[in-house]
Amino acid sequence: MENYFALHMDRRQVDAVSSLGLAHMGDGVFELLVRAWLCSHGRTKAGNLHRETVAYVSAPAQSRFVERLEPLLTPEEEAIYHRGRNAHVHGVPKNATPREYARATGLECLFGHLYLEGKTERINQLFVTVMEELYGI
């Protein structure tokens, strides 16, 4: 039975997934990390959880996250990020600029790629480092 919590696809398989497919996967990964982070830091009031989660996973928030993340990326990770950032999206939410949305898509593509390759330790390292810098945890 496949363990989807600890998935490990080979590089060829992951590269075959479209940029927007990787971003779709990474969107879920990033949101799960944010939800876990909120709960682990005592932010568990039901009325606020959704609102706080949305504040962290919105395109403008993810774009700010990317500003801190980019210097931490390896050349390979940077190429994956650029692949997602340069993907042709069909629309931009009204709460984001095209630049913010492109950067958020790049972040999600990177996290999706790393997740599918089974590189969850690297995802966690990047996430924690940036969250500590941005939010002082």
Known catalytic residues are 27
Rounded CA separation 62/8 (Å): 25
Residue pair 133/68 in contact (Cβ under 8 Å)? The answer is: yes
Residue 109 Ramachandran class (φ > 0 left, ψ -120 to 50 alpha, else beta)? alpha
Residue type, position 9, single letter: M
| C-alpha span between 134 and 34 (Å, rounded) | 13
Find the radius of gyration of the CA atoms of the chain. Answer: 15
Rounded CA-CA distance 131/49 in Å is 17
